[in-house]
Amino acid sequence: MTTVVAGLPAPNTLGRVRARDLYCIPRSISTGAVAVALIEAGHALPFSGNGSAYAAVELVIREGEDIARHAASVTAFNPWRQILKSELQERLSTLIMAISEPRKPFAEIPMDVPTIMGVVNVTPDSFSDGGNHASSDTAVAHAISLAEVGATFLDVGGESTRPGANPVDPSIEQQRVIPVVRALAEKSFTVSIDTRNASTMAAALDAGAKIVNDVTALTGDPKAVAEVGRRSAPVVLMHMQGTPQTMQAAPKYSNVLTDVYDYLDLRISACLGAGLKIHQVCVDPGIGFGKTDSGNLDLIDSLGLLQGLGCPVMLGASRKSFIGRLSGEENPSKRLAGSIAAAMAGVVGGVNILRVHDVEGTRQALAVWRALARDR
């Protein structure tokens, strides 16, 4: 892991640094009256419009394969960036503005407070609940129960993407998910279709889905970007290294933070080129999808980095294998406490949507966090 150095580099040492090789991570997050006071005094900046503030910035600088990380207060960082060469100033100003500004609604759902996406697996082989809701009736009933205890979004998927999973033919996938999507949409729930196949995206949107959630960030099917763009469908773009069959064999990155950021930035550009607006895009770092345990932890600890992309951030860490390895719990269905710990770390880091299996426990944790975060 790269060491974080206190203080900022001398501007004259950045002569060869390209603007696109600068990144910012908001640190020293505060909430409630403390956040307001710090912002008013100029000692902190608003954090993505969620009522919190950040009083420090971690500056990440990439030079080839080398990564340097510098920590500084906002009061030191703001005047420092004003004396950099113009292209570096512009890059940092764009990042700070994106991190600080409020998020617009995603699929008509406000993003000013963290919200929950409930997992609805209509599969026989998903890693934690495969077969539990494999019929349309049981899947619909399960989805409704998730909504009743706090899920704002219902994410319906018909293909397992667990490590080692084999692809499912789109026709079989659609047989599994379309009746569920249609039944939930008819009840006015906000439904997301979890798929990497353009034909399934189209069929689900026709059936009433509002969001496309793709683990391949619309790279798994050459028709996917055009399909989503043509429909103006809000989309979740997830980072994955490799495929479900290969992704956990030997994950390797120059730097997991900057590599994931750059990949998602490119995928956002592809969506904007297809006609989507930035508020119609959400990003997901892909915890457990081609990541080591240390990579997963670094991403969760630094999720504020992704707010620099200017769109909502979703975290899907629920019941993941790294929680089992850290805690010694082999049964995915018994990883609720670890899942909530990861989720709340994400919330502090600015996450807008939590994709979870255990909606009721997560909603309870969020309710307490929100009460603690208010002006007391």
Q: Which residues are the active-site residues?
A: 320, 355
Task: Give the separation between CA 222 and CA 220, rounded to whole angstroms.
Answer: 7
Instruction: Name residues whose C-beta falls within 8 Å of residue 256's C-beta, 6 or more positions apart in sequence.
Output: 291, 295, 298, 299
Question: What tokens were used for 300?
Answer: 């969760």
User: Helices 198-206 and 170-186, interaxial angle, to 10°?
Assistant: 20
Task: Give the separation between CA 314 and CA 316, rounded to whole angstroms.
Answer: 7
Question: What tokens were used for 164?
Answer: 């080692």
Adjacent-strand bridge partners of 315: 354
C-alpha 132 chain-centroid distance: 26
Question: Closest by alpha carbon to 127, among 321, 366, 261?
Answer: 321
- Which amino acid type is present at position 344? M
Element (H, E) at 33: helix 32-40
Instruction: Name residues whose C-beta falls within 8 Å of residue 84's C-beta, 6 or more positions apart in sequence.
Output: 11, 14, 92
DSSP β-ladder status, 66-73 and 4-6: parallel
Q: Widest CA span of the chain, in angstroms?
A: 65
Question: What tokens were used for 126?
Answer: 């998903």
Task: Give the separation between CA 190 and CA 208, rounded to whole angstroms.
Answer: 9
Identify the DSSP state of 106: B
